[in-house]
Amino acid sequence: MSTLDDRPANPAIGEVRPNKRGGVAALIQSPVAIRLGALLILAIGLSLLHLSGRVFWQGLVINLGIFMILVLSLNLASGFTGVFSLGHIGFMALGAYGSAILTLPLAKKADYLPNLPAWLASIHFDFYLGPFPLGFLLATLLAAGLVAGVALLVGLVLMRLSGHFVAVATLGFLVIVRVILFNADNFTRGSRTFSNVTPYTGLWWVWFWAILTLYVVWRLKYSAYGRAMLAQREDALAAQAVGLAIMPPRLLAFVVSAFFTAVAGSLYAHFITSFSPTVFYFDLTFRVITMLIVGGLGSVSGSVLGTVVIIALAEALRRLEDVTLLYGMSQITLAVIFIVIILFRPNGLLGRREIVLARLFRKGGEPSP
Amino acid sequence: MTLVYYAIQQTVNALSIGSLYALMAVGLAMVFSILRLINFAHGDLMMVAAYLAAFALFANLPLGLAVVLIIIGTVIVGLLMERIAYRPIRGAPDVATLLTSLAVGQILQNGMLLTTRFLGQPIQIAFPTPDVLNGVVAFGSITVPRLNVVSLVIGLIALVSLSFFVTRTVPGLSMRAAAEDLTAAQLMGININRVIALAFAIGSGLAAIAGLLFAVQAGQINPYMGFTPVLKAFIAAVIGGFGSIAGAVVGGFVLGALEVILTALPGIGDILPPGMVSPSTQALLQQWLPSSLTGYRDAFVFAALILMLLFRPNGILGQPNREEMR
């Protein structure tokens, strides 16, 4: 279980390690300074990557950020509350399609989605504020807000279930979303590829949202709401006995998590720029769950770690696949790793522990503040 | 006449689809009743069976021999799955076992992907339908696809022999005892590992039959074909009351009927013979049940699943108390 000194530390966990502990030690040991420092280092890293122009690495880091949002929000919904959702990719799909329809430039819209209802056909979010694509931000927020509304409705129904029944019911939700996306031709072009999406998503967008998600999830975990989530996960009866309602924390986790999942969907849509409903289905669900399980259900830094490990591993395996032509090998390896983790480290790499950045800076044996 | 003909055809259709779902759901329910494991990889056993069938038929094996080999092969895969993946995690939390079965499914799917590539086959292959299953059967003036009749007959034979096995034989009895209370059964000297392996073997055998028939019906197979059927089988099992074998059979047929109704109803206004109903009713039907709704069938079916889980988690046969919050 988490203890009191697992307080919010820094987003960029594990990315920064001190190489010098000189006279400035006292200064850099204050948590705020450490957090700002880590953000600064992340910003410098992203700037360097941005300037380097290495498209492949930029793509990889963008992907990393998007998956980090997905895993963190799934952790919020499933790891914190113990109500396992297999349907989150459905929210991602809704976010992706929703924002992509909104940002489609007006001229293209008439041509590309001719059967949109008039009100939707006439609004467009392709405007800029100076060089800043304000429309993209608004479209993402609007789509994610709508998805959060959907999640509220779905959650009111599904959060009553528990154990594996909720997993299967949410999987049912995923199938329903897929069926709707395939059949609502007027909005989604059905099974045809939805392309022509403006490629707004860049390093900065993704990492802005990733850090925001990390911050919100972390703060939530250590808020009264978060503790209520953990309490009803550990023992619903005991939680009720001390006066905690079960539904509100579950719903809150589900809705907030759906919001960020939809944001990830919007970012993804404006990153790959063309997609079809098949993208948002079981493979992606399984990939995200693998990252979550590897990192540890309920551990925020575990989610970050799991995402980094699996993204790196998947990329390495993909390259190996290209060389050996054994396509499918990487999925098998990931699934085997998944089973091995469940067998031997059922709580994931970190369990429910957290890596607290401030501790990494402390000398061994030094008492905790 | 047309309408009667249509209704009979659809009924046979519903029964044959229902028997496929029942075959699948029984395997799921048997394993669930003993281990409380929702085995999502069950659908992939079906896929494995379909591929084994395709390879056997490509090799021009006689149909009878091919069927025996398919069943044996699928049972072996099912037993390996139990031994390697599920036995070590026995007793783990529900969600962990569920996720493990998803991972096992991924391994089977991608393993098959590798195998087909290795054999130089494309991802999607056309299923070589044996001639016996082609054509139609005529009952008087009514013709029904032979496949549907065969599915129904085979399904019924399998289910009847299963019910005989479960109620009238000693291994069947020990299986029911294990489902009732695993620990108590063990204390009574029942070899639990053997019973569980038996449940997996029988489930795999039934999945093999279902896989073969399903592949013929679909006409083509791919490594991912098991996913939707296993979800449907799960729905069937839930409708019947999860963990009950008889319930799974009933649920299979109910789901088959539900699907056929949901497929047949949209657009019914267009096919009704003139004079059947008043023009205003016909117009109403055309307006409220347009044929464009057909595509949404699965959405309705899964919505039904969610409603079942909420209001009658013990199935249509069980007690209507809600799944308690835990």
Whether pLDDT at A8 is above 70: no
Q: How confident is the model at residue A2 (pLDDT cuts 50, 70, 90)?
A: very low
Q: How confident is the model at residue A15 (pLDDT cuts 50, 70, 90)?
A: very low
Between the ranges A109-113, B36-40, B239-243, where is the mean pLDDT highest? Answer: B36-40
Instruction: Quote the pLDDT of residue A107.
Output: 81
Instruction: Quote the pLDDT of residue A9.
Output: 46
Query: pLDDT digits over B45-91, tens only?
Result: 999 999 999 999 888 888 889 999 999 999 999 999 999 999 998 87
What does the longest C-alpha to C-alpha distance in chain A come to? 68
Nearest to B103 among A175, A246, A338 (CB): A338
DSSP string, B113-138: HHHHHHTT--SSEE----GGGSSEEE
d(CA B96, CA A339): 9
* Average pLDDT of the segment spanning A16-21: 49
DSSP string, A104-136: S-HHHHHHHSTTS-HHHHH------BTTB-HHH
Query: What is the ipTM metric for this complex?
Result: 0.85
Which of the residue ranges A12-16, A184-188, B128-132, B288-292 would you say has the lowest mean pLDDT?
Answer: A12-16
Instruction: Quote the pLDDT of residue B275.
Output: 67
Q: Which residues contact A232 (CB under 8 A, 6 or more apart)?
A: A81, A82, A239, A240, A244, A246, A249, A250
d(CA B244, CA B238): 9
Interface contact A332-B234, CB threshold 8 A: no
Residue of B nearest to A234 (CA): B326
Instruction: Quote the pLDDT of residue B322.
Output: 44
Query: pLDDT digits over A238-255, tens only?
Result: 888 888 888 899 999 999
In whole angstroms, how far apart are CA A334 and each of A53, A339, A341, B101? 30, 9, 10, 14
d(CA B237, CA B248): 4
More confident residue, B291 or A258: A258
User: What would the two tokens of residue A28 be?
Assistant: 């850099």
The answer to whether A182 faces chain B, any CB pair under 8 Å, is: yes
Residue of A nearest to B300 (CA): A176
Q: What is the rounded average pLDDT for all residues in chain B?
A: 86
Instruction: Quote the pLDDT of residue B151.
Output: 87
Task: Please name the amino acid found at residue A160.
Answer: R
More confident residue, B288 or A121: A121
Query: pLDDT digits over A274-293, tens only?
Result: 999 999 998 899 999 999 99
d(CA A287, CA A71): 9
Q: Enter the DSSP assignment of A348.
A: T
Q: A25-360 has which fold?
A: ABC transporter involved in vitamin B12 uptake, BtuC (1.10.3470)
* Average pLDDT of the segment spanning B295-316: 84
Nearest Cα residue to B159 out of B57, B259, B30: B30
Whether pLDDT at A357 is above 80: no
d(CA A41, CA A61): 15
Q: Provide, as residue numbers in chain A, all residues whose Cβ is less than 8 Å from the Cβ of B109.
A: 328, 331
Interface contact B106-A286, CB threshold 8 A: yes
* Average pLDDT of the segment spanning A94-109: 90
Q: Provide, as residue numbers in chain A, all residues whose Cβ is less than 8 Å from the Cβ of B102.
A: 286, 289
Nearest to A327 among B104, B109, B117 (CB): B117
Instruction: Quote the pLDDT of residue A30.
Output: 73
User: What would the two tokens of residue B326 be?
Assistant: 């835990």
Instruction: Quote the pLDDT of residue B119.
Output: 85
DSSP string, B279-307: HHHHHHHHHHS-GGGGGGHHHHHHHHHHH
Q: Provide, as residue numbers in chain A, all residues whose Cβ is less than 8 Å from the Cβ of B324.
A: 162
d(CA A93, CA A173): 12
Q: What are phi and psi of B239, to 5 degrees?
A: -60, -40
* Average pLDDT of the segment spanning A286-305: 90
Domain residue ranges of chain A, discontinuous segments joined by +: 25-360
* Average pLDDT of the segment spanning B275-286: 76
More confident residue, A59 or B133: A59
Torsion, Cα B300 B304 B305 B306, to 10 degrees, reads 100
Query: pLDDT digits over A142-192, tens only?
Result: 999 999 999 999 999 888 887 778 888 999 999 999 999 999 888 888 888
Q: How confident is the model at residue A369 (pLDDT cuts 50, 70, 90)?
A: very low
DSSP string, B81-123: HIIIIITTTTTS-HHHHHHHHHHHHHHHHHHHHHHHHHTT--S
Q: How confident is the model at residue A26 (pLDDT cuts 50, 70, 90)?
A: low
* Runs of H (alpha helix) within A87-202: 88-103, 106-112, 118-122, 134-158, 163-183, 185-188
The answer to whether A342 faces chain B, any CB pair under 8 Å, is: yes
Q: Provide, as residue numbers in chain A, all residues whose Cβ is less than 8 Å from the Cβ of B99.
A: 84, 289, 293, 338, 342
Instruction: Quote the pLDDT of residue A37.
Output: 85
Instruction: Quote the pLDDT of residue B1.
Output: 55
Q: Provide, as residue numbers in chain A, all residues whose Cβ is less than 8 Å from the Cβ of B298.
A: 175-176, 179
Whether pLDDT at B323 is above 60: no
d(CA B80, CA A9): 45
Task: Please name the amino acid found at residue B257.
Answer: A
Query: pLDDT digits over B158-213, tens only?
Result: 888 988 998 899 999 998 888 888 889 989 989 999 999 999 999 999 999 999 99
Q: What is the rounded average pLDDT for all residues in chain A?
A: 85
Whether pLDDT at B110 is above 70: yes
